Amino acid sequence: MKKVIYTIGLCLISCFSYSQDSFETDITIDNDTVKPKKYILKEVVVNGNPQNNTPSVSKSTIKEMDLPQATSVITSKTISNQQANSLTDLLKNANGVYIMGTAGGYQEEIASRGFSLRSDNTFKNGMRYYNGMMIETSGLEKVEFLKGSAAMLYGNVAPGGILNLVTKKPKFNFGGEVGFNIGSFNTYKPTFDLYNSIGKNKKVAFRINGSYEKAESFRNYVESEKYYINPSLLFKLSQKTELLIEADYINDSRTPDFGAGVINYKVVDLPRNRFLGVTWGKYDAEQLSNTITITHKINDNWNINFINGIRYYETELFSNARPNTGGLIADNGDWNRNVQKADTKDNYFTQQSNLNGLFSIGKTKHNFLFGADVENYKTYSTRYNNEGYDTINIFEEYDPTNEGTIPTITKNRLTTTPISRFGIYIQDLVSLTEKWKVLAGVRYSYQDTENNVLTYTNGTTTTTNNYDDAFSPRFGLIFQPTKNNTIFATYSNSFDVNTGADINNDPLKPSIIDQYEVGIKNKLFHEKIQANITFYQINNDNLAQTSLLDPNFRELAGSIRSEGIEIDITAKPIKGLQIIAGYSFNETKYVKSNTYIEGSLLRYNPKNTANLSFNYEFEEGKLKGLNLGIINTYFGERFAGRSTQIRVANDNRQLIYLPDFFQVDATLGYNYKKITLKAKLSNLFNELSYNAHDDNSLNPIAPRNYSIALNYAF
């Protein structure tokens, strides 16, 4: 809380005066100077197609139709209309990107194209963001997805794609909004947003927004509390140079809830609200980040930016262990519970620089990018010894009065992981003719990973070092029969750093992952409809697995393949109506393995996902200001549990089958002058399904619930 107050204080010191954007120009007629009246410029908001612009996370000035890669941008208009309050809500507009798990109910684990999008793949304003906690949406201006490979731009990232959260930026006109949201499960959430210029010369602008949320849950004894603040300052140092300073702070505290258990790898039929944790359990997480961005326009064709960023996060988990940890749940429902504790903190620093330029050589036109980045992490992870706690029966209503005293458990080990990364990259989009273009680029990455493990029982420390480097090329061919039609094919690769050592005690080399993507982008009917289709294949032919000679070592002895198709449609066929639709098919399986059955599917990934949303805003007539929306999502069948290991005789591991489900949300909004009233009914038909994590944590999705928000704009 001290950090929240401190951050607010810093911003309020700077934000002491307010004025509106205005302009006045002297007009000279026959040597006489006439002073015109002063005109007030009102803010103009343009809400285009959600996929109609290039993600800033692409680091380039390449237009979206010229980019040989699938992208998706969720605009502020869509976030507002759909009243998105979580990452789960946002992903209902991003085809092929989905929540694969919600470990403990305190995070939303993202996946795309069969691969988990780790914190390395999650960005906020272009800087890596820790996604092991809930993400706040009230401060977001838009959300960007760059699907497929992004290794040429960002180095060591998982191959499914990257997510970039873009926060609200300062404005030079006065304005803002305050709001209050209430909802099911005793949820209430006040929000605020304020922006203006500072001083009369209009050289400095600020923005500060934030929220507070306190809620219970549809799960008994589960509650949460969250603080968020996002201040920023924009300095116009000259006509060509801008300095943007942004801070972002979130503090989130929740009751850990690992959901329903499984018995013999079958989902247990329990009441959706049944809690099987401990009421004294806690997961406290906070994250503070700051970026300083300098953008300089060299001339009309060239610009350069410098980004300095720092991030700090800290988490503390103390609760019961997951179901089946320390002993399987018996057929009669008896479960011998363990308790667990883990503390983690991380310091992160990055510097980036990007040079973008347009030039011509002969008849060819070039869109050029050159950049470099440096990153340094230092992560501290403390693990404690799991200990037995008590015995409950999962078929009986949980009684917290039977809980024992909060145990004191001892430390097991401290793992300190300093990581240093360096990357340099170059890319060029070459327009050979009006219809044919080529995108080519390459990145060199170097990573130094140190791992220090202190074991508390004997006081010894073991240290290992991995030094990895790799080249990540990217090549794309673009054909544009018209300016509104693009056909493209792309090859790229990424690398994944492998931990552990081989049988000779040598560090494992990184796995190189090849990606192939072909697609079609179309803007139809005077750009009222954008329809894209993408086919892709991702191959990791050097997957690290446990060594058959000694399970204490690893070897590059596996291969997985992900392949699929994505269809994205966004449309504004008539005035006031917006449609977002999509379908995704993905199959990710083991092609070669010394551990798992070849041809078997990787867990958690649905083969089929689909989305279809309608939003209609009455822009004239007696119903002007009324906004109606329907959000439909389909999530295909998938598997949790444990994949069978061919190297284990009579292996009793099994997969847990999770059926598909279809969910409908309905939204209603009404705007009258400066007041907006919004309402949302989620999971309209009270569908039941689960988010899975590991083989023993199944969290049911929320039942039918509502939210109502009242906002006042000024």
CB neighbour class for 360 (10 Å; exposed up to 12, middle 13-18, buried from 19) = exposed
Q: Nearest CA to 114 among 584, 476, 532? A: 584
Q: Which amino acid is at 564?
A: G
Q: Mean pLDDT throughout 233-248?
A: 97
- Statement: residue 659 has pLDDT above 70: yes
Please count the other Cβ atoms lying within 10 Å of the Cβ belonging to residue 415: 14
Note the pLDDT tens digit of each residue in 178-213.
999 999 999 999 999 999 999 988 899 999 999 999
3-class SS of residue 693: strand
Residue 366, both tokens: 């070039």
Q: Is the dihedral of CA 65, 66, 68, 73 positive or negative?
A: negative
Strand bridging mode 122-124 / 161-167:
parallel
The Cα–Cα gap between 560 and 545 comes to 12
Please count the other Cβ atoms lying within 10 Å of the Cβ belonging to residue 686: 11
- Statement: residue 253 has pLDDT above 90: yes
Looking at the DSSP bridge assignments, the partners of residue 32 are: 29
Mean pLDDT of the chain: 90
pLDDT band per the 50, 70, 90 thresholds, residue 261: confident
Note the pLDDT tens digit of each residue in 283-336.
999 999 999 999 999 999 999 999 999 999 999 999 999 887 767 889 999 999
Quote the pLDDT of residue 53.
Answer: 64
- Statement: residue 48 has pLDDT above 60: no
Q: Output the pTM of the full model.
A: 0.90
Q: Mean pLDDT throughout 249-264?
A: 92
Quote the pLDDT of residue 695.
Answer: 67
On whether the CB atoms of residues 488 and 62 are closer than 8 A, the answer is no
The Cα–Cα gap between 248 and 656 comes to 39
Highest mean pLDDT among 278-282, 550-554, 595-599, 697-701: 278-282
- Statement: residue 31 has pLDDT above 60: no
The separation between the first and the last C-alpha atoms of the chain, rounded to the nearest angstrom, is: 28
Q: Mean pLDDT throughout 342-367?
A: 97
Torsion angles phi and psi, residue 121, rounded to 5: -100, 0
CA angle centred on 394, ends 393 and 397, rounded to 5°: 90
- Statement: residue 614 has pLDDT above 80: yes
